[in-house]
Chains A and B, each alone.
Chain A
Amino acid sequence: MPPPILDVRNLHKNFGAVTAASNINVSFTAGETVGIIGANGAGKTTFVNMITGYLKPTRGAILYRSREITGLPPRSIARLGICRSFQVSQVFVSLSVLENLLTAVAIASSPGLGMLRPLRRPELIERAERIMERYRIAAFRDQLASELSQGARKLLDIAMAVAGGPKILLLDEPTSGISTEEKQPLMDVVMEALKQDELTILFVEHDMEIVERYVDRVLAFYQGEVICDAPPAEALRDPKVQEFVIGGEYQAGGGHA
């Protein structure tokens, strides 16, 4: 078995009396696609936040390629290749969609003094445009991000996370707010990128169809604990998962049935 790319050991997080993470021990191998599910308030975002350096765990350690990254600031973690999208989209509202992506691409490709090179370089623009195509936001190329609808903003948010060429990608509810027609195409795109680049993807998801279809492995959270860590077929039939996350039996094909 290959060594884990990301290793989470004994992670705890308390907010006052609330325990948002309790004794989490998981590790991920390169190229894995992991779906994180759980009830609202179960601690999914907190888990993502700790890995990406936004929150400092109360206890425990996070190792990336055997190197401890616990407590590093987000930018260092991002530079290591751990990128993320957000539950509430974080985009540059007064820049156009193109400029949003250009910024993301440029930062990733210009370390140090490279930051002094012009932003609007043809090679960067080309890359940004490719990403826009892929994430179906090319139509909004010159629109300001503040003018985008919630869903389009979400797409942009994800595109920016991917733009940096990550090794590990964490997506917090990537498909929420995206209309059904767009959900699967979007995930297809993301997954395709993954397969090419040997990316590890962790994504928080409430839509079990998406989970079932795209992930290799499911982590289910409940009250800060991992209650299930198994392949999707198994996890979605787990009684605890059914009780606390799905709220009943899981029926393939979703609520339509």
Chain B
Amino acid sequence: MLELQGLDVDIGVVPVLRGIELGVPDRSMCGLIGRNGAGKTTLLRSVMGALRARGGKISFDAHDLTAEPGHRRAHVGIGYMPEDRRLVPDLTAEDNILVPVWATGVAGYQKRLSWIYELIPEVAAFRARPATELSGGQQKMVALARALIVGTKLLLLDEPTEGIAPVLARRFVEILRDLKSEGESVLVAESNDKHLHGLLDRSYVIERGSVKLGAA
């Protein structure tokens, strides 16, 4: 489904990713595990088109995404949850979730929205509150929901369980499990695989900008 071949990415003049080879097969859950500063976020942002690759190729479902403009990702079914949440402050939680829907103009999102609310009932509880008012963890949930709404094929999650209370982290893991059973592909970046243990089909270890396949 997602295939990175020899990806090189610089930020400014600093080379951050080097020769990344990574694949997320259909209906699988992959982990991208690495310490602070290893390059996880950079990798996900590159896939999302926020950073231009200096070399290499990003392909998705036989599309070549390398040269496509960034906003096309959402249109082809990739959902993204940034590590620092980034909710639009003056919109309500629900509006935030719907932003990608409006942006891509996909039809029939209602069903998916109620499915998401079933999946994460906490969000339904504060759906009408402005995003500014939500606590860090609450925002995290909204960000996940927002990634889910258009991410029908692939989800890119950047440290989804960071800053999440154990009670919720457990729910997150359950949610991921559900997603997997629904046939979605997921790439999760985490600084450890504590919560993900046993869920991953594949896990990549990233270190100083290079990945290698780790034990699943």
Contact = CB atoms under 8 A, between A and B. Distances in A.
Indicate whether A and B are direct neighbours in the complex (CB within 8 Å): yes
Interface of A: 15, 18, 37-42, 45, 87-88, 147-152, 154-155, 173, 176-182, 206-208, 244-248, 254-256
Given A173-B163, A245-B166, 19 more contacts: A38-B165, A40-B138, A40-B141, A40-B163, A40-B164, A42-B135, A42-B165, A151-B37, A173-B136, A177-B36, A177-B191, A179-B191, A180-B191, A181-B35, A206-B165, A244-B167, A246-B167, A247-B168, A255-B194
A43 B8 CA distance: 43
A179 B192 contact: yes
Nearest to A250: B166
Nearest to A40: B137
Of the listed residues B12, B36, B138, B140, the one surrounded by the most CB atoms of chain A closer than 10 A to its CB is B36
Given A147-B14, A150-B41, A182-B35, A39 B168 contact: yes
Contact of A152 (B36, B126, B167, B168): B36
B135 to A, nearest CB: 4
B216 interface: no
B170 to A, nearest CB: 5
The 10 closest A-B pairs by CB, nearest first: A40-B137, A151-B36, A247-B167, A149-B37, A179-B191, A180-B192, A41-B135, A179-B35, A176-B163, A247-B170
Contacts of B126: 41
Interface in B26-70: 34-38, 41
A176 to B, nearest CB: 4
Contacts of A42: 135, 165
Nearest to B196: A255
Given A178-B191, A180-B192, A255-B195, A147 B11 contact: yes
A248 B170 CA distance: 9
Contacts of A256: 194, 197
B71 interface: no
A40 B197 contact: no
Contact of A254 (B34, B36, B162, B194): B194
Contact of B165 (A18, A177, A245): A245
A86 B165 CA distance: 17
A256 B199 CA distance: 12
Contacts of B159: 150, 177
B135 A40 contact: yes
A247 B166 CA distance: 7
B118 interface: no
B201 interface: no
Contacts of B167: 39, 244-248
Contacts of B11: 147
A45 B171 contact: no
B214 to A, nearest CB: 14
23 contacts: A39-B167, A40-B136, A40-B137, A40-B141, A40-B165, A41-B137, A41-B138, A45-B135, A147-B14, A150-B84, A151-B191, A173-B163, A176-B162, A177-B36, A181-B192, A206-B166, A206-B169, A207-B166, A244-B167, A245-B166, A247-B167, A248-B170, A256-B197
B40 to A, nearest CB: 8
A228 to B, nearest CB: 14
A87 B136 contact: yes
A255 B197 CA distance: 8
A177 B162 contact: yes
Contact of B36 (A18, A39, A147, A178): A178
Interface string B127-154: 0010001111110110000000000000
B10 interface: no
B21 interface: no
Contacts of B36: 149-152, 154-155, 177-179, 182
B43 to A, nearest CB: 12
A122 B192 CA distance: 39
Contacts of A39: 137, 165, 167-168
Contacts of B141: 40
B184 interface: no
A17 to B, nearest CB: 9
Contacts of A248: 167, 170
Nearest to B141: A40
Contacts of A152: 36-37
A238 B137 CA distance: 23
